[in-house]
């Protein structure tokens, strides 16, 4: 039996690790996985684990009010080391580029345990954007035994950085596994969501998300100003914005958008509800990483309000555009997509570059092939 320790601590990690948890459960004769939650997020993390029916074996409960990244990192390494000594896993599985991933991979390295990095090889080339995620994933790559690259381009990046060919595998992205399962389930529950969002009626709807640290300050004010301008120019379109709880986001959003008649500021949506909103939307404005991967599967044009992206495949495919936080560019490109059917259709792609929904079983098979079982 292979004994992997699956570690995650934030909502995005939980979404992308849920298919791996399920794939491990599908092979009970081969794998006895344990699940460790760091608690980097708390309420948002529990929403996802409840939805996917994930029961944790260990919870580090790291979340504290106003803790610094240094405090979070130190606590995670120290507590994870205790877990690794006690549990003696055959390998440690992490996903993405959070502080949980960085700290867990370092703790595993100190104990000479192999690390499986899901969603490996993403890069912007700038350690300050996204911050601190770019540095987190680069350091994680240094100690990784199996790089599960979501795309050929991500795999090529790892080769350029000198990682051994035998450690690099293109698996697809597990977020597509989770998305396809969730879309099917939430479409069946559509009447529930339509009732909750009955104020939208049959209007076209632009879905907005924003939370990146590098956009705090002028970036968010620019984003909000562009939405004000668009709301004036598109009076027949609803703008739905689930607003992140961070005060750096709440402040400018409510100040600049709080009084506009068809801009709806709502609480952050749990994952299944947000998937339904993406599916219901006409197009999406976002600075999120995961939405860049999901939108192509739903055929939703997406403008990414960032200056760089570690997910260039969707840009190359034509599904996604980078517009930064320029008021003029966000406004101009949104207007073009919303008023020109040919421009809209250009952003709808037939094949999502991030996968076919079978990434998790591939990753589990790779783990079994390594011979790590004790």
Residue of 13, 90, 119, 294 marked catalytic: 119
Residue of 42, 111, 159, 213 marked catalytic: 213
Burial class (CB in 10 A: 0-12, 13-18, 19+), 270: middle
- Count other Cβ atoms within 10 Å, centred on residue 92: 27
Catalytic: 356? Answer: no
Catalytic: 211? Answer: yes
Structure-block tokens of residue 367 = 């783990």
Residue of 90, 133, 273, 279 marked catalytic: 133
Three-state SS string across 342-369, please? Answer: HHHHHCCCCCCCCCCCCHHHHHHHHHHC
Burial class (CB in 10 A: 0-12, 13-18, 19+), 44: middle
Catalytic: 119? Answer: yes
Residue of 13, 90, 97, 293 marked catalytic: 97
The answer to whether 18 touches 48, Cβ cutoff 8 Å, is yes
- Return d(Cα 347, Cα 342) in angstroms, integer: 9
Residue of 87, 244, 262, 365 marked catalytic: 244
Structure-block tokens of residue 340 = 């020109």
| DSSP run (H or E) holding 105 | helix 99-110
Structure-block tokens of residue 294 = 């999901």
How many secondary structure helices (H) and strands (E) does the chain include? Answer: 16, 13
Alpha helices in 299-340 (DSSP H): 312-317, 327-339
Catalytic: 244? Answer: yes
At residue 258, what are phi and psi to the nearest 5 degrees? -65, -20
Residue of 87, 211, 307, 365 marked catalytic: 211
Among residues 285, 275, 271, which one has the least CA distance to residue 240?
A: 285
DSSP state, 2? Answer: B
- Return d(Cα 180, Cα 103) in angstroms, integer: 30
- Return d(Cα 222, Cα 86) in angstroms, integer: 49
- Count other Cβ atoms within 10 Å, centred on residue 325: 23
At residue 239, what are phi and psi to the nearest 5 degrees? -115, 115
The answer to whether 300 touches 329, Cβ cutoff 8 Å, is no
- Residues labelled as active-site residues: 97, 119, 133, 211, 213, 244
């Amino acid at each position: 039996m292979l004994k992997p320790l699956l570690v995650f601590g934030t909502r995005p990690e939980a979404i992308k690790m849920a298919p791996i948890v399920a794939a491990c459960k599908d092979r009970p004769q081969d794998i006895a996985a344990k699940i460790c939650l760091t608690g980097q997020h708390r309420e948002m993390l529990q929403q996802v684990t409840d939805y996917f029916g994930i029961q944790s074996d260990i919870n580090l409960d790291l979340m504290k009010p106003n803790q610094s990244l240094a405090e979070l990192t130190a606590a995670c390494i120290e507590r994870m080391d205790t877990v690794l000594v006690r549990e003696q896993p055959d390998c440690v599985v992490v996903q993405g580029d959070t502080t949980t991933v960085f700290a867990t991979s370092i703790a595993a390295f100190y104990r000479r345990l192999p690390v499986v990095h899901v969603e490996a090889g993403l890069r912007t080339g700038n350690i300050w954007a996204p911050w601190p995620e770019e540095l987190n994933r680069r350091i994680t790559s240094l100690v990784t035994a199996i790089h599960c690259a979501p795309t050929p381009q991500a795999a090529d990046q790892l080769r350029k950085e000198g990682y051994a060919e035998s450690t690099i595998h293109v698996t697809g992205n597990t977020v597509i596994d989770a998305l396809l399962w969730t879309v099917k389930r939430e479409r069946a529950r559509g009447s529930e969501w339509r009732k909750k969002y009955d104020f939208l009626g049959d209007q076209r709807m632009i879905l907005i998300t924003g939370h990146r640290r590098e956009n705090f300050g002028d970036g968010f004010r620019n984003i909000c100003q562009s939405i004000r301008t668009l709301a004036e120019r598109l009076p027949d379109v609803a703008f739905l914005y689930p607003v992140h709880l961070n005060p750096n986001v709440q402040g400018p959003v409510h100040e600049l958008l709080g009084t506009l008649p068809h801009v709806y500021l709502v609480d952050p949506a749990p994952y299944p509800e947000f998937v339904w909103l993406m599916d219901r939307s006409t197009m999406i404005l976002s600075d999120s990483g995961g939405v860049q991967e999901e939108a192509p599967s739903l055929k939703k044009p997406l403008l990414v309000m960032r200056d760089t992206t570690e997910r260039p495949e969707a840009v190359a495919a034509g599904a996604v555009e980078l517009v930064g936080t320029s008021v003029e560019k966000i406004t101009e490109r949104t207007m073009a997509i919303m008023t020109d059917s040919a421009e809209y259709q250009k952003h709808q792609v037939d094949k999502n570059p991030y996968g076919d929904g079978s990434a998790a079983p591939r990753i589990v098979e790779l783990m079994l092939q390594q011979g790590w079982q004790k």
